[in-house]
Amino acid sequence: MPGPHPAVAACRSAVRRALRAYGELPEHALVLVACSGGADSLALAAAAAFEAPRAGLRAGAIVVDHRLQPGSEQVAARAAAQCLDLGLDPVDIRAVDVGTGAGPEAEARMQRYAALADAAAAHGARCVLAGHTRDDQAESVLLALARGSGTRSLAGMSPCTTLPTARIDPADRASGSSKRALDEQCALLRPFLDDLTRAQTRAACTALGITWWDDPHNEDRRYLRVRARATLQDLEKEIGPGVIAGLARSAQIARGDADLLDEMALAAADRLREPPWAADELAALPQAVRARVWRLLMARQGAAAADVGRVHVQALDALLTAWHGQGPVDVPGGLRARRVASRLVVERGPVQ
């Protein structure tokens, strides 16, 4: 008896590896697939429907309707029906309202992950599977390179991260204390991220007789990621096949480096404890570690780590490496850092 189509087998193997790598799950634990109705997520849904029961797990799905275009509710309903036909249960449709504050792409992403977290909590799911492929990872790395980002951004998306199942204080998450409470969160797994391509997910759907939906936004060049996708296709033509795979492989390497630096920074921040901090102890840290330590220390004093940018880190670092009696450094979150003799002090300053 012939086996499954190679693309189908690759999708199933990726899901099986991801579930095993995550760790032991209780028998009959629920995993949910984030399904948009596109080829990537439907191939993932089909693979999860096959693999989950064989691992003693239950598989369901979450369909997020971003309501960004006419007829989106029909697209969501169709995706949900396809998940049910594949044997996934429960299947939950969540409609969200996408604002414009951080831009349409960022706002849609934030609302989508919030909806996934809410649905996971409502159903008691232990993990959510997302269908990001190697192509998506390469796009993330290309955009990070264009921005001149650091190692963490160049690492792209993680194959395993977390969705909060309850509200977590931003300072706690930034400080690393959220890492100590993983049992209180739902995992977000991306089984296809490192090894499977968009072409493979389409081939898997075709082999299984699954018709997918192509989001017209994926062809709209007003969106930065769409332009990055087109650029990657051009690079593959001009430089040769392997650019996408190479960028994804670079993300894997950078991820390992970034994880180690983050661990070193967290250990250093734990040693430093509360301010005031000894300037010579901070200055003795390697610069790559110290930049991360500054963000952790400021987050623990009430700043949002994401708001502590490179310019703030450089100004804070100058209190150590270029000290000539300069004034205090204002940090987002209403903080003000200054040097007093050989120590660094943090106090409440003007609200930023």
Binding site residues for ATP, as ranges?
A: 36-41
Residue 174 in tokens: 């930034």
Task: Determine the Cα–Cα distance for residues 352 and 206; give it in Å rounded to an integer.
Answer: 53
User: In terms of Cα–Cα distance, which of 93, 51, 102 is closest to 74?
Assistant: 93
Helix ranges (H only) for 165-309 are 170-175, 198-208, 224-238, 243-272, 279-283, 287-300
- The helix (run of H) or strand (run of E) holding residue 77 is helix 72-85
10 Å Cβ neighbour count for 344?
22
Binding-site residue positions: 36-41
Q: Which residues pair with 98 in a beta bridge?
A: none
Q: How many CB atoms lie within 10 A of CB 244?
A: 24
Q: How far apart are CA 14 and CA 190, in angstroms?
A: 9
Residues linked to residue 185 through DSSP beta bridges, in sequence order: 164
Distance, CA of 132 to CA of 196 (rounded, Å): 9
Identify which of 295, 238, 113 has the alpha carbon closest to the alpha carbon of residue 186. 113
